[in-house]
Chains A and B, each alone.
Chain A
Amino acid sequence: MVALPVLDRKVIRDLKRLWAQVLAIALVMACGVMTLILAQGAYRSLSHTQETYYDQYRFGHIFAQAVRAPDHLKERIAAIDGVAAVEMRIVRSAILDIPQMAEPAAGIALSLPSGRKPAVNRLYLRAGRLPEGSRTNEVALDSRFANAHNLKPGDTFSATLNGKKLNLEVTGIILSPEFIYALGPGDLVPDDRRFAVFFMAQSAMEGLFDMKNAANDISLRLLRGACTPCVIEKLDRLLKPYGGTGAYERKDQQSHAFLDAELTQLSAMAKVLPPTFLLVSAFLVNMILSRLIALEREQIGLLKACGYSSWSVAGHYAKLVSVVALLGVGIGAVAGNYLGKLMTQMYAQYFSFPFLVFDESPDLYLIAAAISLLAALGGAFSSIMKAARLPPAVAMRPPAPPRFRSFLSLKSRRLRILSQLSTMGLRHLMHNPVRSLLTSVGVSFALALLVSALFLTNSMDHMINVAFNKAETADARLTLADDKAPEVLGDILRLPGVLTAEAYRREPVILRFGSREKRVAITGRPTNANLSRILDLNERAIEMPHTGLMLPTHLANQLGVTPGEMVTVELTKHNSIIRQVRVAGTITSYMGLSASMHIDALNALVPTGPRISDLAIKVDRTRLDDLYDAVKETPGLGGIAMQMLSREKFRELMDESVTSMLVAYITIAVIVAFGVVYNAARIQLSERGRELASLRVIGFSKQEVFHVILVEMALIVLLAQPMGWLIGYGMAAGMIQGFASDLFRIPLVVLPSTYAIASFVILTAALACALIVRRRVSNLDLIKTLKTRE
């Protein structure tokens, strides 16, 4: 066995002696390393998986829809400069009737070319085979829907397509890069049970939808370095005569946009959380090492007197700190790796990737180790330098006694409010104001973490309440396969179980203001709408004005337009007719970016005359099954969105993810709070052991002596509360900003109960620390403490 240098043995023994404090720091550091590896690792794995999947399955770069584009257009599109591949297909909505499920499922049917693989958006075949060109009733079904209903190749289900009821046979189970995140009409979150994506042979779709040699959906892949806006412009020009609604790029494709938003959040988490943990641990290292060096002053003097250089003394303490940091890195790396894989798998399942490319990223671990070491050594720097600079003769003399100021000393002693014990606690606190403040900031950070996690439930509840109880109160929404004359409303009212129905019109448009433009839809709303209402900025339902556009604030901000100004409206479905419309006002909307207009005003704007495209209905819940049956049989219905079900599904998913997130955040916050409070208390105890022993000798009880420590700890923790609430509120606001997208925005709502719960958790952790410290106070060795020279 190689003999360890004596100074290294001291490192090992010091670590053993200080194990509890070492562990507390290492755990805080581990949180930093863990969040870095977890978030960054999951981010890398997922974006790598996404990239590989997109590449291997040729996910499109540009997408466009038209009313009816003839197949011969394909050559002209392919000839556009920069286009690598073109695929033209038929895409239509469908209503599915699944045995054992009362309510109809919404579906989307897409055509597959015969005899060849698609040039863009290929399918990953999980089981079975793709439909054959000669068969009209074969489908390849999305794996999530198939799983939810236990459908396998060979099974059948019925569906209504273009008003025709068909019996379809599943030949294959597939995944598509276009539907990594598959959202049904009117849904807030994916619902595998109620939304299906399926593919049929081109010839079958042509026949069903009367689209011989034509398509309504075009996807392109581009060559590397192609000019995307140029291609979009040329494609729009080609599609315009055929009802082209305007091409868009990948970032506007729904599935990709959702996935991208999720990845952005992960990478934001990897950037924000780890540095904060590392800062806290650097502070803890600083606090503990400076005390250790103060205690070992004489030993340092002795080492130097024996001939050890300043550098070897500095190196000794640097080693000690490095071991603590590496311990944290070790724990964090193992936890981060494990949780990172778990999280990646969860994401993969949620997003339906056919495979996972795990990015092991050894560099990530090296980076984590390097920055943790840097943080720890940074925290230790001033103390280490102090040890290195201490001249041996000075070191071997005891330090000068600490000087206190007569803070809190009242002139008239008869007017004293505070006991001497409380005065002691307060003066000690003020003796080291920077340290006390930093300790408080450390605790407030733990509190802020909790607030920033807990508030999400408040915000979500508020959002659901506003969206479902104030704005959208319909039980379901029926989408028409094609826009129809308003008379359809009567037919819908005659459906069994329908109590009331309101007709809405939806027009895809491009809004322009100055140089800014946004591709959105305008919803035409009737007078006295009750089932779908617009809300003013105070979230109160208001009547739709008869003229002008109402814009959600998020959209108005993006366009830079204010009420009273005119915006240009391009009606993309109607030969791109241009109209000028005045902005009548701004409204609150947390979901989507849809602009609103009175339906009469919208009907007047569009040359086709009055039309409706969907209906909001209230239903008699006892007659739901009859309604479901009727919807499955009614031709002309494109789909049904069960808002009452999607509300529940949303709640369920939120509860699930919020619960696991809360557990993680509470654990981390408790670790941080405990690490900070425990270390602060231990240092107090170490600095003041003599004082406390004196008090015990004078005749103060253990409880009274503990009170001295408690006053200081309590003040630090109490001061941390308002700071933590404030920082937490700031973090919550930052998160809300980060989450905001065109798809949805979360309102910032932090209820008093959230602050209370967060404070309760932190105070409980602090109290647990206090109890541990109380035991140490009780076990103080009076004689030994008092008879030694400080």
Chain B
Amino acid sequence: MPTPVFIAEDVTKTYTTNEVEVHALRGVSMTLFEGEMVVLLGPSGSGKSTFLNILGGLDNATSGTVSFMGQNLTNFSESNLTRYRRDYVGFVFQFYNLIPSLNAWENVALTTEIAKDPLDPKEALELVGLGPRASHFPAEMSGGEQQRVAIARAIAKRPEVLLCDEPTGALDTKTGTLVLEALQRINKELGTTTAIITHNTAIQQMANRVYVFKDGAIESTHENEAPKQPSEVAW
């Protein structure tokens, strides 16, 4: 039986803006196990990003509990959450969010400088196939390359979990495949628990498990006995 990394129980999130209450999450429970790759599917506004942000310590739940390796995240202070993100979580966003004034190597070094047991930035870049582009600045790279630098940056600290919010959302099929291959390779070689949010239903075929969100709750879930390679996925 694999070890659970995250255990979320009955998590709700309510935003109040301009006296209007928005229920982003209406009681989500989910367990993520060590080394697995899950895909969160669902239309815009279904709550999957909110849930991922709570897992990553970017946001707090309104009610319910989220525990990470036995620790209750919901009780964490602001500085504890910063510490948690620094030591355990890697993020990948749709818009890369690289630092334009740092080159690829330096962008990765940004995390290795503050991590406990990091990879060498060069090694991280090689893992995503960008070893030769280390000295290039973001403005000198394609979207796919930039996203792979973002992945290298996220995994260089050997995080326990890698949380990816629409990592291929801004990319074409070919570059998207390269990015997904990088994610799968890291999941396999480093054993990093990976959660990927996507609109693209085809991507679910490469996950161990798939959760489908709708209106702030999990609508359905299923497992893939034999996850496919990104190159085998048609999208």
A residues with CB within 8 A of B: 400-404, 406, 409, 413, 419-421, 423-424, 427-428, 431, 690-691, 693-702, 704, 782-783, 786-790
> Contact string, B69-99, partner A, CB cutoff 8 A, digits 1/0?
0000000000100111111010101110111
Interface of A is mostly: helix
- Give min CB distance, A400 to chain B, whole Å: 7
- Give min CB distance, B220 to chain A, whole Å: 26
B residues with CB within 8 A of A: 49, 53, 56, 58-59, 79, 82-87, 89, 91, 93-95, 97-103, 105-106, 109-111, 113-114, 135, 137-140, 153, 157, 165
Chain B residues with CB under 8 Å of A704's CB are 114
Chain B residues with CB under 8 Å of A421's CB are 110
Given A402-B139, A427-B101, A789 contacting B89 (CB threshold 8 A): no
Q: A404-B102, A698-B114 are in contact. List 14 more A-B contacts (CB 8 A).
A: A402-B100, A403-B139, A413-B109, A420-B110, A423-B106, A691-B99, A691-B101, A695-B110, A696-B82, A699-B83, A699-B89, A699-B114, A700-B114, A701-B79
Chain A residues with CB under 8 Å of B84's CB are 699
Q: Among the interface residues B89, B99, B135, B153, which one has the most CB atoms of the partner chain A within 10 A?
A: B99
Chain B residues with CB under 8 Å of A695's CB are 99, 110
Given A420-B102, A424-B99, A698-B111, A404 contacting B93 (CB threshold 8 A): no
Q: Are B86 and A413 in contact (CB under 8 A)?
A: no
Q: Are A419 and B113 in contact (CB under 8 A)?
A: yes
- Give min CB distance, B13 to chain A, whole Å: 12
Chain B residues with CB under 8 Å of A702's CB are 82
CB-based nearest B residue for A696: B82
Q: Are B99 and A406 in contact (CB under 8 A)?
A: no
Q: Are A431 and B101 in contact (CB under 8 A)?
A: yes
Chain A residues with CB under 8 Å of B89's CB are 699
Alpha-carbon distance between A423 and B91 when the two chains are bound, in angstroms: 22
Alpha-carbon distance between A409 and B56 when the two chains are bound, in angstroms: 32
- Give min CB distance, A443 to chain B, whole Å: 23
Q: Are A786 and B103 in contact (CB under 8 A)?
A: no
CB-based nearest A residue for B166: A787
A-B contacts, 6 of them at CB < 8 A, read: A413-B109, A420-B106, A420-B113, A698-B110, A698-B114, A783-B53
- Give min CB distance, B233 to chain A, whole Å: 25
Alpha-carbon distance between A194 and B153 when the two chains are bound, in angstroms: 82
- Give min CB distance, A724 to chain B, whole Å: 28
Q: Are B95 and A406 in contact (CB under 8 A)?
A: no
- Give min CB distance, A404 to chain B, whole Å: 5
Alpha-carbon distance between A708 and B113 when the two chains are bound, in angstroms: 15
Given A423-B102, A698-B111, A699-B89, A690 contacting B82 (CB threshold 8 A): no
Q: Are B103 and A406 in contact (CB under 8 A)?
A: yes
- Give min CB distance, A35 to chain B, whole Å: 40
Chain B residues with CB under 8 Å of A788's CB are 95
Chain B residues with CB under 8 Å of A697's CB are 56, 58, 85, 91, 97
- Give min CB distance, A249 to chain B, whole Å: 68
Alpha-carbon distance between A790 and B94 when the two chains are bound, in angstroms: 12
Q: Among the interface residues A401, A420, A421, which one has the most CB atoms of the partner chain B within 10 A?
A: A420
Chain B residues with CB under 8 Å of A406's CB are 103, 135, 137
Chain A residues with CB under 8 Å of B140's CB are 403
CB-based nearest A residue for B111: A698
Q: Are B138 and A698 in contact (CB under 8 A)?
A: no
- Give min CB distance, B51 to chain A, whole Å: 12
Q: Are B105 and A413 in contact (CB under 8 A)?
A: yes
Alpha-carbon distance between A690 and B102 when the two chains are bound, in angstroms: 14
Q: Are A694 and B97 in contact (CB under 8 A)?
A: yes
Chain B residues with CB under 8 Å of A402's CB are 100-101, 139
Alpha-carbon distance between A786 and B85 when the two chains are bound, in angstroms: 16
Q: Are B94 and A404 in contact (CB under 8 A)?
A: no
Chain A residues with CB under 8 Å of B98's CB are 694
- Determine which of B53, B83, B91, B101 lies in contact with A698 in the assembled complex, contact meaning CB atoms within 8 Å: B91
Alpha-carbon distance between A693 and B95 when the two chains are bound, in angstroms: 13
Q: Are A699 and B93 in contact (CB under 8 A)?
A: no
- Give min CB distance, A365 to chain B, whole Å: 44
Alpha-carbon distance between A428 and B102 when the two chains are bound, in angstroms: 10
Q: Are A401 and B100 in contact (CB under 8 A)?
A: yes
Q: Are A782 and B101 in contact (CB under 8 A)?
A: no
CB-based nearest A residue for B106: A420
CB-based nearest B residue for A788: B95
Q: Are A787 and B94 in contact (CB under 8 A)?
A: yes
- Give min CB distance, B122 to chain A, whole Å: 9
Q: Are B113 and A782 in contact (CB under 8 A)?
A: no
Q: Are A783 and B59 in contact (CB under 8 A)?
A: yes
Alpha-carbon distance between A783 and B50 when the two chains are bound, in angstroms: 9
Given A401-B139, A409-B106, A413-B105, A786 contacting B86 (CB threshold 8 A): no
Q: Are A404 and B100 in contact (CB under 8 A)?
A: yes
Given A400-B139, A401-B100, A786-B95, A698 contacting B86 (CB threshold 8 A): yes
- Give min CB distance, B210 to chain A, whole Å: 23
Chain B residues with CB under 8 Å of A431's CB are 101
Chain B residues with CB under 8 Å of A698's CB are 85-86, 91, 110-111, 114, 153
Alpha-carbon distance between A788 and B157 when the two chains are bound, in angstroms: 26
Chain A residues with CB under 8 Å of B83's CB are 699
Alpha-carbon distance between A695 and B97 when the two chains are bound, in angstroms: 9
- Determine which of A420, A428, A786 lies in contact with B109 in the assembled complex, contact meaning CB atoms within 8 Å: A420
Chain A residues with CB under 8 Å of B100's CB are 401-402, 404, 691
Chain B residues with CB under 8 Å of A694's CB are 97-99
Q: Are B58 and A782 in contact (CB under 8 A)?
A: yes
Q: Are B102 and A427 in contact (CB under 8 A)?
A: yes
Chain A residues with CB under 8 Å of B91's CB are 697-698
- Give min CB distance, A778 to chain B, whole Å: 9
Alpha-carbon distance between A790 and B93 when the two chains are bound, in angstroms: 13
Alpha-carbon distance between A788 and B170 when the two chains are bound, in angstroms: 12
Alpha-carbon distance between A565 and B26 when the two chains are bound, in angstroms: 103
Chain B residues with CB under 8 Å of A423's CB are 101-102, 106
Q: Among the interface residues B59, B97, B105, which one has the most CB atoms of the partner chain A within 10 A?
A: B97
Alpha-carbon distance between A413 and B109 when the two chains are bound, in angstroms: 10
Chain A residues with CB under 8 Å of B102's CB are 404, 420, 423-424, 427
- Give min CB distance, A103 to chain B, whole Å: 72
Alpha-carbon distance between A421 and B113 when the two chains are bound, in angstroms: 10
Given A400-B139, A409-B135, A423-B102, A699 contacting B111 (CB threshold 8 A): yes
Alpha-carbon distance between A427 and B110 when the two chains are bound, in angstroms: 15
Alpha-carbon distance between A431 and B100 when the two chains are bound, in angstroms: 11
Chain A residues with CB under 8 Å of B101's CB are 402, 404, 423-424, 427-428, 431, 691
Alpha-carbon distance between A427 and B102 when the two chains are bound, in angstroms: 8
Alpha-carbon distance between A19 and B137 when the two chains are bound, in angstroms: 36
- Give min CB distance, A305 to chain B, whole Å: 23
Q: Among the interface residues A400, A690, A694, A698, which one has the most CB atoms of the partner chain B within 10 A?
A: A698
Alpha-carbon distance between A403 and B103 when the two chains are bound, in angstroms: 10
